[in-house]
Amino acid sequence: MSSNLAKELREGTKKAHTMAENTGFIACFLKGTVEPTSYRKLVANFYFVYSAMEEEMMKHQQHPVLGQLYFPELNRKATLEEDLTYYFGQNWREQVAPSEAAQAYVDRIHTISEQAPELLIAHLYTRYMGDLSGGQILKKIAQNAMNLSDGQGTAFYEFEQIPDEKVFKQIYRARLDEVPVDEATVARIVEEANDAFGLNMVMFKELEGNLIKAVGIQLFNLLTRRNRRGGTELATAE
């Protein structure tokens, strides 16, 4: 019996999705304004978030619910390590640490993994489906904004083990609908997904200071004046 989890997640997070795209950092990014210092801090934060998420998924790959969504080809930790090497050099591990918001995000992932593992689905959906949906567009924006050559600093957006991202997303959504969860659990997963969007938004908000310093408050206000609907996503699922 289908749980309709994929549809419930999509419908239940639309507002949060739009709110995430309207954060200053993302609004500027989507309009082609990417401040390098802020961006590399985001890459560092993502490294800690994805490391936590993928560590917990490794633990739960035999879980009756989570196991059905264990797709190692989605893992981003190695690609983020590659990007961090580009932005910070070989000794990047000595230079990066999670921000306050990123640490709160990491802590939440570890907590629910221990207390209610099925809620990790919310975080998988929010991050990976967003990455697959907007990755190539975001890669091009980053390349153009920071004058990056192809393959430099954008490994995060490359899913080399997934030849057809559209087909994979269809498979993933079908698998979401097959997980053995009741209506109450579906509601809790959707609630957690909205919380995941919130954690992403706080993380983006932290990055706005450097961005404003770089582009000036007037340009920042101009870029973020109009709310967006739709578009692609740096931190949100399709």
Give all domains of the chain, ordered by start, each with its CATH number. 5-223 (1.20.910.10)
Dihedrals φ, ψ of 228, to 5°?
A: -100, 150
Token pair, residue 205, equals: 């908000």
Q: How far apart are CA 17 and CA 238, in angstroms?
A: 8
> Alpha carbon 150 to chain centroid distance?
22
pLDDT tens string, the chain, 238 residues long: the values are 567 999 999 999 999 999 998 898 998 899 898 889 999 999 999 999 999 999 999 999 999 999 999 999 999 999 999 999 999 999 999 999 999 999 999 999 999 999 999 999 999 999 999 999 888 888 999 999 999 998 899 999 999 999 999 999 999 999 999 999 999 999 999 999 999 999 999 999 999 877 778 778 877 787 777 655 544 445 444 5
| 66 close to 121: Cβ distance less than 8 angstroms | yes
Please name the residues in contact with 134: beta carbons below 8 A apart, sequence gap of 6 or more: 232, 233, 234, 238
Alpha-carbon distance values, 33 to 9, 64, 141, 226 (Å): 30, 43, 8, 15
Token pair, residue 64, equals: 């009756």
